[in-house]
Amino acid sequence: MTNATSESKHFSILVVDDEPANIDILLGILKPYYKLKVAPSGFVALKIVEQFIPDLILLDIMMPGMDGFEVCKRLKSDKRFTSIPVIFVTALGQGEDEEHGFSAGAVDYITKPVSPSITLARVKTHLSLAHQMKTTEALVKERTQDLLASQQSAITMLAAAGHYNDTDTGHHIWRMAAYAKLLALQSGWSYEQATLLSQAAPMHDTGKIGIPDSILKAPRKLSEAEMVTMRTHAAIGHKILSQSNTPLFSMAAEVALYHHEKWDGTGYPEGLNGQEIPQSARIVAIADVFDALTMKRPYKPAWAHDDAFDYLTKHAGTHFDPTLVKHFLDAREIILTTKQYWDKLEEENLLPSIDSFIPDVISRKS
C-alpha cells in the first residue's frame, strides 16, 4: 500500500461498531499502518475516549442503545474531544443522513461495504489535516505566549520607569493594581476587562520619567511652579502610552491622563467632574490613594486600615466617585486579604507573574 507509511504507526484510531464482522474488516485494512482500539458500542467508545484520546474515530451509525449521531454529538460537546476527527462508516444512504452526520460534527463518510483503498485514503487525509491543525494551534499558542511575555515585560518596565526615582514604593504599583482589579470586579466589570485594568494600572505614573529629579526628589513641599511641572506627568504618560493603540495601552494611556481628576472637578489636567472622568481612572484613583495611605514611607508611618477607609468615605463625592467608594468598602474583607498577600510577598522580596495580582482563591471568590 502506498496510502500509508510506517510513520502512520504514530497515529491511533478508535473503531466503533456493534458488528464484529465489520470491526474485523476495518482491522484488516488499518492494522498494518495504525495503532487501533475497538469499541462494540457507543457507551464503550465514550468510556475509552475518557481514558485514551485517539487521533481519529471511525464510527458506525446504526448501533443499539446509542447511535453514532449521539456519540458524535457528545464528543463534540466536550472541549477535550472537539478536535478529534470523526468519520462515519455506514450503510445508510446519502442526503439527509449525511447532512445529519455533518451537523453532529463528523468530517467525512465511508460507505459500507468499505473499500480498502478509499478507507486508507480518507483516514490518511483527515489524520494529516488534524495533525496540521494541531501543529498550527501549538505554534499559535507558543507565539501567543511569547507575545504575552513581551507585553508583561513592557508593563513591568514602564511601571518601573515611572517609579525609577522612588526607591520606597516597593510593591505599591502591583498591590494597587490588585485593588483596582478587585474594585472593577465589584463594580460589575467582566473578568477580562478587570484583568486588563490591573495590567494598565501599574503604568499610571509612567509620565514621571519626564519630571526633573530636583522636583521628584525634593525633600520639601513643592512650590506652585514646581507643582505645575509635576502635574505634567499625566500628559507625558498619556503621550508615551498612546504610541500603541492596543486595548491594553489605550486603557493605560487613559488611566495615566485622568487618574488625578477629582469627582468634584478640582483635579487635573482637564478639571473633569463626575462621570466625565473615565471609570478606569476613577477606580485607579481609589486604589492608588488607599495603598499610598496604608504603606509606610520615610516621611510618614502607614495609616491604620480603618483610618484609610474613613479617608475614602470622607472624600467620597469630592475627590472620589461615591458609588465606587461604596463598592470598595463593601469589598473590605477581600481588600485586606489581598493586602496581606502582597505584604507577605514584599517581605519575602517576591514578585509573581502579572497574572497573579490577586491570589486564585480571591479571584474565584470575587
Please say if the pLDDT value at position 82 is more than 70.
Answer: yes
Q: Would you state the pLDDT for residue 361? A: 39
**SS3 label, residue 297:** strand
Q: Which helix (H) or strand (E) holds 60?
A: strand 56-60
Q: Exposure of 181 by Cβ count < 10 A (0-12 exposed, 13-18 middle, 19+ buried)?
A: buried
DSSP letters of 32-43? TTSEEEEESSHH
Q: Would you state the pLDDT for residue 366? A: 42
Please say if the pLDDT value at position 277 is more than 50.
Answer: yes
Q: How confident is the model at residue 4 (pLDDT cuts 50, 70, 90)?
A: low
Please say if the pLDDT value at position 247 is more than 80.
Answer: yes
CATH entry 3.10.20.30 includes domain 6-137: no
Q: Would you state the pLDDT for residue 189? A: 94
Query: 243 vs 298, which has greater pLDDT?
Result: 243
Q: Exposure of 44 by Cβ count < 10 A (0-12 exposed, 13-18 middle, 19+ buried)?
A: middle
The partner residues of 59 in beta bridges, in order of sequence, read 16, 88
Q: Would you state the pLDDT for residue 211? A: 85
Please say if the pLDDT value at position 41 is more than 70.
Answer: yes
Q: Would you state the pLDDT for residue 10? A: 82
Please say if the pLDDT value at position 182 is more than 50.
Answer: yes
Tens digits of residue pLDDT in 314-326: 999 999 999 999 9
**Mean pLDDT, residues 244-260 taken together:** 93
Please say if the pLDDT value at position 166 is more than 80.
Answer: no
pTM of the model: 0.61
Hey, what CATH topology would domain 163-365 get?
Answer: Hypothetical protein af1432 (1.10.3210)
Averaged confidence pLDDT in the chain: 86
What are the sequence ranges of the domains in the chain? 6-137, 163-365
58 backbone dihedrals φ, ψ, rounded to 5°:
-100, 120
CB 239 within 8 A of CB 231: no
